[in-house]
Structure 1
Amino acid sequence: MKLNQFLRTALVACAAVFTIGVSLSTQAPTVSASSATYKTVATTSIKKAPYHKKSSAGAIYNASHTKKVANLKTYPYTTWYATAKVTLKHGSSKALYYKVKNASGSVSGIVWNKYVTPGKSPFGLKYAKSAVALDVNTNNNVWTKNPNTARPIASLSKLMTLYLVRQKIAQGKGTWSSKVNTSNAGLKRLGKSNVFGGFKFNHNSYTVRQLYLAGLIESSNNAAIALGQWVAGGSTPAYNKKFIGMMNNQASEWHLKHSSFVSASGMEQNSLQPYGYSIGASKNANYVSASDIAQISRHFIVDYNDILTDASVKSMKVDGQTLHNYNNLLPGRKYYQKSLKVDGLKTGYTDPAGYCFVGTGRKSGHDRIVTVVLHDENEFTETRSLMNYVYNQNLA
């Protein structure tokens, strides 16, 4: 779950010198402290028209061309709407600019006409094999890529497991303080695994709350399995198999047509087998579509909204062990963006699943969204790009 980066280094904007002539220049002006001032020669209103960046070069400036407002390369999927043509004079040369702003109106200024091209910006995710952006309020998918293709989802599976834990508590059949049997030798070995561990079972029982936090924040596999057995009413592998049936039943109740669960934790069957928790299923992994994962996440957020409080915890101690949250879109983390207000939700990785991530946040003035990327290589940068696209296009 330790993850890749995106966002390449910037190209220098507005790099060539004006050529002298009577017609408008075909080269961008040089911007430096010693440059002559820019003067507005003419401004002509035009019918609102969409443009997007032509390449990685270029920038948007304030109206007087004295301050850079934004580099175009940092807005790879943004559509800029032009409302006027502006002719600027710099020395003895003239150049044509467009007065533009993005869909939300949060960024505006002028851009040299050669840095943009007509039409709405095409948006895509390069690495994710499947992706969805869901408006939580309307329950509509506002952007998709292969949304109904079922794929291995690794630890995103724990969202269904932890939802069923919350459901049992809500039904009055248990509490946060209920004790969960953690004496199984296989689960204890699993907790100590260098590959699949993360929370050691040093005692023969833990509270539901302790294991819930271990499963959500640290993504503990043995905690998820133990909780599943508790939901199913026992503490042996037979109850693990019963619980997986409950996972599939809940998916059916929600009319999720592209979901098949064989594991409470998201580990594959061949990985679970040495610990005694393979159920002998025909499929080796949980196969769930991005659209179905988005629905599971939405149910969790709507029904048990305090998951957002827990999922936004960056690290904490339980039983003397540090639980680390691998969500790198949280405040203070590498890919954090303040305006997106990300406060969840779940990371996941196995070799067959690749990097998977469910993100959620609510930008001011917009609806909350849930985003899902499956089998990605740059899950945080692509999630951030998807969130920005949804909000900049006013899709939620």
Structure 2
Amino acid sequence: MKKSNYRGLLSILLIVAVLTTWQLFNTKPLSASASSYRVVKTTTMKKTAYHRASANGAVYNLNHTKKLHLLKHYPYTTWYASKKVILRHRHQNAVYYKVKSSSGGAQGYIWHHYLKKGKAPFGLKYAKAAVAMDAKTGKVLWQRHMNTPRAIASISKLMTLYLVNKKVAGKGAGWNSRVKTSYSGLKTLGNSAVYGGFRFTRNHYTVKQLYAAALIESSNNAAIALGQWVAGGSTPAANRRFIKMMNHQVKVWHLGKAHFVTANGMEQNALRHYGYSVKGGNANLVSAKDVALIAKHLLADYPSILKESKRGSLKVAGQLCHNYNNLLPGRAFYQPSLKVDGLKTGFTDLAGYCFVGTGKKSGHHRLITVVLHDQNEFTETRSLMNHVYRQHRI
């Protein structure tokens, strides 16, 4: 080839390369748009239940231009399909179902390979640990990570209240016994905007008053004062003795996944500010199963606790104590058939929302449920209770 022809060919190739490069950088990329997904056929179908076959899928709008919901966020949702839609994309057809979640809160179109026919298996979306237990037999009816010790916040007070009942049931003490509450740290704690609620305006309260404040209002200073009273004192030294009593009771009951360092469920890094600190860790660590067993012992040995735990509110020494159990009558998540009458709520940033629920549905044994580190503790407790009854497990 002559040099002139060779140079001409190189010039042409260079021009083509430049034009191609310009076109690549100045052309908008293709996307999953209405033009790339078009409806080929729509068929109405009998309403059919499906659940997710893969957590990788998503729910789209009809033209597949937008992800509406990620299936990984719906592990226990039943989707009801009402239409079969064939969409064409890149010369290929694909079958999608028009679906709506069982609650009606989410809907759209799902590729059929992401679905399995049938209702979704039962599960709790948020609780990191949970258990349902027959309060009479101790049989576990449903569980998730029930043997993993976790921070349990204020449901720790169930152990404190058990030991209070135990002392009252013995000799030399009663519900009208006076509890000394003059320690400055407890008074400061009661006035805290974060950890307070029941203020110590007196230097003495009765056991009955502080018991109600600790159970209903979940008063942190009331729980510590009661523990100190059980241990025979009114200062942090008595609190340390009481923590040892709590862990001794753990051994008596053979609870292998429970260890206490506070009487009220607050973490020690918060309690130190008020003069309280013990060795053994920052937080009470108890498994969901062991929480349920503590509740079982409390309900079996001292069933009168239900007279207080079912109260929506109560005035104690002139202060209104509010019960935060939203499964009680008149509350947002109340369901009459479940007959919930207890038992204890809890929350810290470390523990998340925790709840021990209990109720005795007509014709059944009493049910105890525990959810730990939850986001929707009342919704999920209600779902768990309904599931156990629906499956005739109790």
TM-score range, shorter chain: 0.7 to 0.9
Match of 1:359, SS?
strand
- Alignment-derived partner of residue 352 in structure 2: 354
Structure with greater contact order relative to length (CA < 8 Å, sep ≥ 6): 1
Partner of 2:109 in structure 1?
A: none
Change (3 A) 1:388 1:188: same
Amino acid at match of 2:326: N
Instruction: Please tell me whether the aligned partners of residues 266 and 285 of structure 1 are also in contact (alpha carbons under 8 angstroms).
Output: yes
| Offset from partner CA, 1:345-367 (integer Å, 9 cap, x none) | 00000000000000001112222
Letter in 2 for 1:26: M
Query: Are the aligned partners of 2:78 and 2:119 in contact in 1 as well (CA < 8 Å)?
Result: no
User: Equivalents in 2 of 1:163, 1:56: separation in Å?
Assistant: 47
Task: Determine the structure 2 residue equivalent to 1:126.
Answer: 125
1:232 maps to 231
Q: Please state if 1:323 is matched with 2:347.
A: no
Matches of 1:158 and 1:276 in 2, distance apart? 19
**Secondary structure in 1 matching 2:346:** strand
Cα contact 1:53–1:117 (8 A) shared by 2: no
Task: Please say if residues 54 and 117 of structure 1, whose CA atoms lie closer than 8 Å, have aligned partners that are also in contact.
Answer: no
Match of 1:185 in 2: 184
Distance 2:132 2:293 in 1: 11
Q: Is the 8 A contact 2:129 2:288 kept in 1?
A: yes
Shift of 1:26: 3.3
Higher helix fraction: Structure 1 or Structure 2? 2
Provide closer, same or farther for how the CA distance between residues 307 and 147 of structure 1 changes in structure 2, counting only shifts above 3 A.
Answer: same
* Structure 2 counterpart of 1:137, one-letter code: K
Would the aligned equivalents of 1:357 and 1:373 in 2 still touch at CA under 8 Å? yes
Q: Is contact 2:147-2:288 (8 Å) kept?
A: yes
- Of the three residues 356, 374, 377, the one matched with 1:376 is 374
SS in structure 2 opposite 1:293? helix
In 2: Cα distance, 1:272 partner to 1:147 partner: 28
Counterpart Cα distance in 2 of 1:245 and 1:341: 36
- Distance in 2 separating the partners of 1:246 and 1:28: 59
> Residue in 2 aligned with 1:155?
154
TM (normalized to structure 1)? 0.72
For structure 2, the 5+ residue unaligned runs are 1-42, 49-75, 83-99, 105-114
In the alignment, which residue of structure 2 is the partner of 1:63? Answer: none
Distance in 1, Cα, partners of 2:362 & 2:117: 30
State the match for 1:267 in structure 2. 266
SS in 1 for 2:342: strand
Report the residue type matching 2:373 in the other structure.
H
SS at match of 1:374: strand
Hey, what's the Cα distance between the residues in 2 that align with 1:361 and 1:28? Answer: 35
1:240-279 equivalences in 2 (<5 Å): 240-279=239-278
Verify the 8 A CA contact 1:57 1:72 in the aligned structure 2.
no
1:213 aligned partner, one-letter code:
A
Matches within 5 A, 1:185-204: 185-204=184-203
Which string of whole-angstrom CA distances, capped at 9 and with x for unpartnered residues, describes residues 60-114 of structure 1? Answer: xxxxxxxxxxx99269xxxxxxxxxxxxxxxxxxxxxxxxxxxxxxxxxxxxxxx
Q: By how many angstroms is 1:27 displaced?
A: 4.0
Cross-structure match for 1:64: none
Distance 1:154 1:28, change over 3 A: closer
**What secondary structure sits across from 1:138 in the alignment?**
coil
* In structure 2, C-alpha distance between the alignment counterparts of 1:300 and 1:379, rounded to whole Å: 21
Residue matched to 1:103: none
Using the TM superposition, give the Cα deviation of residue 309 of structure 1 relative to its aligned residue in structure 2, in angstroms. Answer: 1.2
| Aligned match of 1:86 | none
Tell me, in whole angstroms, the C-alpha distance in 1 between the residues paired with 2:102 and 2:288.
Answer: 28
Tell me which moved more, 124-133 or 170-179: 170-179
Which amino acid is 2:390 matched to? N
1:17-71 alpha-carbon deviations (Å, 9 max, x no partner):
xx8xxxxx83459xxxxxxxxxxxxxxxxxxxxxx9851568xxxxxxxxxxxx9
1:231-273 Cα shifts (integer Å, max 9, x gaps)? 0011111010000000000011000000010000111001000
CA contact (8 A) 2:152 2:284 kept: yes
Contact 1:57 1:73 in 2 (8 A): no
Residue equivalent to 1:304 = 302
Partner of 2:102: 73
Counterpart code for 2:215: L
Is residue 367 from structure 1 mapped to residue 378 from structure 2 by the alignment? no
Report the count of equivalent residues: 300
- Counterparts of 1:208 and 1:253 in 2: how far apart (Å)? 25
Q: CA deviation at 1:196?
A: 0.4
Cα distance in 2 between the residues matched to 1:54 and 1:183: 56
Shift of 1:282: 3.8
Structure 2 CA distance, aligned partners of 1:229 and 1:138?
33
Structure 1 regions of 5+ residues with no counterpart? 1-18, 20-24, 30-51, 59-70, 76-115
Query: SS where residue 26 of structure 1 aligns?
Result: strand
Q: What do residues 288-334 of structure 1 show as CA deviations (whole Å, max 9, x unaligned)?
A: 00000000001011111111110000011111111000000000000
Higher Rg = 2
Report the CA distance shift for 1:267/1:54 in structure 2 as closer, same or farther (over 3 A).
closer
Instruction: Provide the C-alpha distance between the structure 2 equivalents of 1:203 and 1:133, rounded to a whole number of angstroms.
Output: 41
